[in-house]
Homo-oligomer: A and B are copies of this chain.
């Protein structure tokens, strides 16, 4: 297909497609003349992924290039690609080492492993717990364990639906699913809180 059709089918402006080509995020098409190139379905799939990473997830061009490199030269299984992508997606500030250790202990109590090199989500959790502490909120017993059980159930169904068509599609699904579904999950939580609060008024009336 020509660049115009590629642009139309991916719903990405031609100027943006050319920008991705210049940045090397999209491989060049097959030249059919001095000024025209032909693009294959693989280009369309790649373009959709780039668009999702840059616009949907908000990755920088550099981070997008790193994700693409992982897909093109996967270090191992999909899970490893995903772990590596997670590292890119999860910028974490420095965390107090004692806090990181206690968080690791907590997570290990859930029977979860936190392999080295894939510990960005762990540090993110440690940072979030530190922020809760700093705001003077005491997390009641059992709440974090319930979070773990609930999120495990959520992750199971999400990961059961990873497309098997290609590594590129699998990563696109997992990255978009990770990031774009966060506001959905949080909105559902707020609704659930309102629901449970209304239903159990008797149970938590103060006094």
Contacts and interface: CB of A to CB of B under 8 A. Distances in A.
Contacts of A203: 159-160
Which label, helix, strand, loop or mixed, suits the secondary structure of the A interface? helix
A88 interface: no
Nearest to A200: B159
Contacts of A184: 125, 128-129, 132, 139, 144, 147
A138 to B, nearest CB: 9
Contact of A52 (B51, B137, B149, B159): B137
A97 interface: no
Contact of A201 (B52, B77, B131, B205): B77
Interface in A103-150: 107, 112-115, 118, 120-122, 124-125, 127-129, 131-132, 135-137, 139-140, 142-144, 146-150
